[in-house]
Amino acid sequence: MRRKNVLRAILSAGLLMTAVSAGLTDAAADGAPTSPAVATTPQAPASDSLLTAMQHDFGLTRSEAVDRLAAETAARQVERSAQRAAGDSYGGSWFDATSGKLVVALTDAGLRKAVESTGAQVRLVKHSERELNAAMQRVNALQAPAGVAGWRVDPKSNSVTVDVLAQHQDDNDVRSFVTRALKAGPVTVARTDQAPRTLAAGTVGGDPYYTGNVRCSIGFSVYGGFVTAGHCAQPGAAVSGWDHTYIGNFQGSSFPDNDYAWVNVGSGWWTVPVVLGWGTVSDQLVRGSAEAPIGASICRSGSTSHWHCGTVLAKNETVNYSQGAVHQMTKTNVCAEPGDSGGSFISGDQAQGVTSGGWGNCSSGGETWFQPINEILSRYGFTLHTA
């Protein structure tokens, strides 16, 4: 019974009790043996099991995994100071795993030394992030057909990249959309073979929360409840846990346009700052929500496919689901499956977002998008529950 052992681990760490991931709520009632969530030393980059998972998923040695986590932590800190140094010439940034450095796109060569003095590498580009965001907004204003998978600001190509489904690229409505999108500013077009879909599922066994006959996954604890995906239910929907006991109700929900929601927690349930590792890694404590750069490693926990890791591929992407477009999403190459919706994306010990949708599965691979956590916290005025 995993739930009892997670509870013991939390109590031994001296934590307050409040709820986190779909897995944790389930875990707190179930009871298989588990080890403490992460090393208690604040300076520790990660638990031993997380390092083991990174070695497996990224093909790294243990020392390389430790070095990568340290480099990504440094890159998060550099990103803020580099953006200030670049000012209006900032064109976006990404983490380069080969060099272990943050790369900053810059439109003004005269600011190169100032930006490099922060510890970042510089790539000179034509368009600033402000220009790219403006183009993104103009594309967002267009009505996209089903043959368009989505679009995003891509600092590496210094453009807004529109993904078109290869099997529909010659459709008249797709060609018309692309023609209008190209007039929006610096836009490039790419082909993809996969269409995104949301990841809610019908009622099945596992570590869930349930709304009617839909199963989704808990994202992160906030004071007063937890956040999850908006497509899982509408405001007012009752939520039950792994054992079908009542937890609370959807208090706010937005989908499409956004894909986030929050559920109040009560009736004997509580919240804790933990993401379930599902036995693949130790349960992970949540210590903040510093945003990981493009190129950084990231892991996901969900009630269907459990724990998987990958890399941040893109930010500020619009994903065109069949139900409508969702904006300002982050794209990863982490796999996911139906029922994982709403689950936790975490980088190191920093919360990143809640699972929205994707394509593929965890047998053959795929890509998954998440709604960034800081936008959700800002929208609802929440404080993330941290260790």
For the chain, the domains span: 1-60+146-387, 62-124
pLDDT at 46: 66
pLDDT at 280: 86
Q: Which fold has domain 1-60+146-387?
A: Thrombin, subunit H (2.40.10)
271 φ/ψ sector (left φ>0, alpha ψ -120 to 50, else beta): beta
259 is catalytic: yes
SS3 content of the chain, % helix, strand, coil (to 5): 25, 35, 40
306 is catalytic: no
341 is catalytic: yes
Residue 351's contacts (CB-CB under 8 Å, 6 or more residues apart) are: 220, 275, 286, 288, 289, 344, 345, 373, 384
- Cite the DSSP H helix spans in the chain: 2-12, 22-27, 48-58, 62-86, 112-116, 129-140, 172-182, 373-380
AA letter at 19 = A
Residue whose tokens read 């490039």: 188
**317 and 352 in contact (C-beta within 8 Å)?**
no
Q: Going by DSSP bridges, is the β-strand pair 121-124/101-106 parallel, antiparallel, or unpaired?
A: parallel
Matching CATH topology for 1-60+146-387 and 62-124? no
Q: Which among 259, 283, 340, 349 is annotated as catalytic?
A: 259
| CB neighbour burial string for 294-323, b if at least 16 within 10 angstroms, e if fewer | bbbbbbbbbbbbbbbbbbbbbbbbbbbbee
387 residues of the chain, pLDDT tens digit each? 344 344 333 333 332 222 222 222 222 333 333 222 333 333 455 677 788 888 888 999 999 999 999 999 999 999 999 999 999 999 999 999 999 999 999 999 999 999 999 999 999 999 999 999 999 999 999 999 999 999 999 999 999 999 999 999 999 999 999 999 999 999 999 999 988 887 654 332 225 799 988 999 999 989 999 999 999 999 999 998 877 788 899 999 999 999 999 999 888 888 888 888 888 888 888 999 999 999 999 999 999 999 999 999 999 999 999 999 999 999 999 999 999 999 999 999 999 999 999 999 999 999 999 999 999 999 999 999 999
Q: Which among 341, 344, 347, 356 is annotated as catalytic?
A: 341
pLDDT at 200: 59
Q: Which among 26, 154, 231, 283 is annotated as catalytic?
A: 231
| DSSP string computed for 160-181 | EEEEEEGGGTTSHHHHHHHHHH
| DSSP string computed for 11-35 | HHTT---B--SHHHHHHTTT-----
AA letter at 196 = P
**258 and 326 in contact (C-beta within 8 Å)?**
yes
Q: Which fold has domain 62-124?
A: GMP Synthetase; Chain A, domain 3 (3.30.300)
